[in-house]
Amino acid sequence: MSRHRVVVDIAGGTNPTWTTTLDELSVLQQELATEGLEIHVLVHSRAWPLVAWNQMSSSSEIHLQAEALARRGVRFVLCENTMHGANLRKRDLLPFVKTVPSAIGELVKKQTDGWAYVRRD
Amino acid sequence: MSRHRVVVDIAGGTNPTWTTTLDELSVLQQELATEGLEIHVLVHSRAWPLVAWNQMSSSSEIHLQAEALARRGVRFVLCENTMHGANLRKRDLLPFVKTVPSAIGELVKKQTDGWAYVRRD
Amino acid sequence: MSRHRVVVDIAGGTNPTWTTTLDELSVLQQELATEGLEIHVLVHSRAWPLVAWNQMSSSSEIHLQAEALARRGVRFVLCENTMHGANLRKRDLLPFVKTVPSAIGELVKKQTDGWAYVRRD
């Protein structure tokens, strides 16, 4: 088990904010690499375009940035309630994205297990 | 003591967001019912109309939704600093609402006692 | 070690909100003084003018309010990534401000060590 474990709660839907948050996570990985760190990014509500696309959006810079983090071990998790609300199917998600039944349930369970929690817009 | 305990921090004042959050809590109750779950909704700042009314507002859908959750064991807690700022008296609150001296004090004490924390707008 | 320890995450850039948050912290100090309390205010992103000034801003009410809290033991911490992004040098910071390499790293490490976390806008 890593010494540091954090679930990052992302609910907002604006792209400059996402880029800043993913930049932060990239720096965080370097900062805590030697101590041991596990990062889960929990995406829900209006933030779903960060990890999915549909007719209204197309692959983009932010998807490439997410993919680069995923390749370095960051886990991206999408809320299934959000999926249903946005009419997303499994094949609309970026290939490395996992899903959980509900965002809030995941946040509670992770903290019960000792994970840190950080809210980002 | 329940396996999972969470205090939900609600400071924002917009109604569609409240409905979404209370819907989430309703799903959460079902999701973690068998594992054991305690939910406190901590209302403060501009969010007070979620659990109170005055001359400017009237009972509404959101109050009925809150009441339904309260009947199923969710506790609604209002910050007394917020009460004073909004000129609310005890009789302005929905009957099932408890109060605490300050929102931030409650959030700190709950986390010291091992509760999870979730911020919602 | 204090019984209660909390890191307050401030990322937003609007002044009425800052005043409310610092007022809250002042009340919190009184509320939990006898139990033992340590408060760190972690400032980052658009919130940097809370603890620094440059050509675009000048010393102000909010700086005096922060200084009063600092004198009573609250620690103010600024993210160095934010400093670089806003072209701030050490001498632009209020004299009592400490810095950390990254906001999110600080939030994770503090929670790993058992600190409570409160997000404010």
Of A13-22, B60-69, C42-51, C72-81, the least confident: A13-22
Cβ count within 10 A of residue C81: 20
Strand B98-100 relative to strand B75-79, pairing: parallel
The pLDDT of residue A45 is above 80: yes
| pTM reported for the whole predicted model | 0.92
* pLDDT, tens only, A62-104: 999 999 999 999 999 999 999 999 999 999 999 999 999 999 9
What the block records as the tokens of C100 is: 């950390």
Cβ count within 10 A of residue A57: 13
CA-to-CA distance for B45 and B66, rounded, in angstroms? 18
What pLDDT is stored for residue A110 in this prediction? 98
The pLDDT of residue C112 is above 80: yes
* C-alpha distances out from residue C44 to A50, A59, A115, C99, C106, Å: 23, 30, 22, 10, 11
* C-alpha distances out from residue B33 to A1, A62, A100, B76, Å: 27, 37, 17, 19
Query: What percentage of chain A reaches a pLDDT higher than 90?
Result: 83
The pLDDT of residue A1 is above 70: yes
* C-alpha distances out from residue A72 to A55, A76, B113, C121, Å: 29, 12, 35, 30
Of A41-55, C23-37, C89-103, the least confident: A41-55
What pLDDT is stored for residue A39 in this prediction? 98
The pLDDT of residue A113 is above 80: yes
Query: Is residue A100 a contact partner of residue A79, using CB atoms and an 8 Å limit?
Result: yes
Cβ count within 10 A of residue B80: 14
Of A2-16, A28-42, A46-60, C105-119, the least confident: A46-60
* C-alpha distances out from residue C105 to A60, C19, C42, Å: 27, 26, 11
C55 vs A49, more confident: A49
What pLDDT is stored for residue B23 in this prediction? 93
Query: Is residue C42 a contact partner of residue C6, using CB atoms and an 8 Å limit?
Result: no
What pLDDT is stored for residue A16 in this prediction? 81
What pLDDT is stored for residue C55 in this prediction? 56
Helix (H) or strand (E) holding A75: strand A75-79
Q: 3-state SS of chain C?
A: CCCEEEEEEECCCCHHHHHHHHHHHHHHHHHHCCCCEEEEEEECHHHHHHCECCCCCCCCHHHHHHHHHHHCCCEEEEEHHHHHHCCCCHHHECCCCEEECCHHHHHHHHHHCCCEEEEEC
What pLDDT is stored for residue C66 in this prediction? 96
What pLDDT is stored for residue C41 in this prediction? 98
The count of CB pairs under 8 A between chains A and B is 46
Average pLDDT, chain A: 92
Mean pLDDT across A40-56: 87
Residue of B100, B112, B119, B120 to mutate, interface with C, max C Cβ within 10 Å: B112
Average pLDDT, chain C: 92
The residues on A that touch C, with CB distances below 8 Å, are 3-4, 6, 8, 20, 24-25, 27-28, 31-32, 37, 116-119, 121
What pLDDT is stored for residue B17 in this prediction? 87
Per-residue pLDDT of chain B (121 residues; tens, 9 = 90+): 899 999 999 998 788 889 989 999 999 999 999 999 999 999 999 999 999 986 555 558 899 999 999 999 999 999 999 999 999 999 999 999 999 999 999 999 999 999 999 999 8
CA-to-CA distance for B102 and B78, rounded, in angstroms? 8
- Tell me the shortest Cα–Cα distance from A110 to chain B, in angstroms: 9
| Banded model confidence at residue A56, pLDDT cuts 50, 70, 90 | low
The pLDDT of residue A6 is above 90: yes
Helix (H) or strand (E) holding A79: strand A75-79
Q: What is the DSSP letter of B93?
A: B
Domains parsed from chain B with CATH numbers: 4-120 (3.40.1260.10)
Closest by CA to B53, choosing from B109, B106, B84, B91, is B91
The residues on A that touch B, with CB distances below 8 Å, are 9, 11, 45, 81, 101-105, 107-109, 111-112, 117, 119
- Tell me the shortest Cα–Cα distance from B87 to chain A, in angstroms: 31
Residue that is written with structure tokens 């959000």 in the block? A82
The pLDDT of residue C59 is above 60: no
Q: How far apart are the first and last CA of chain A?
A: 28
Residue of C44, C112, C119, C120 to mutate, interface with A, max A Cβ within 10 Å: C112
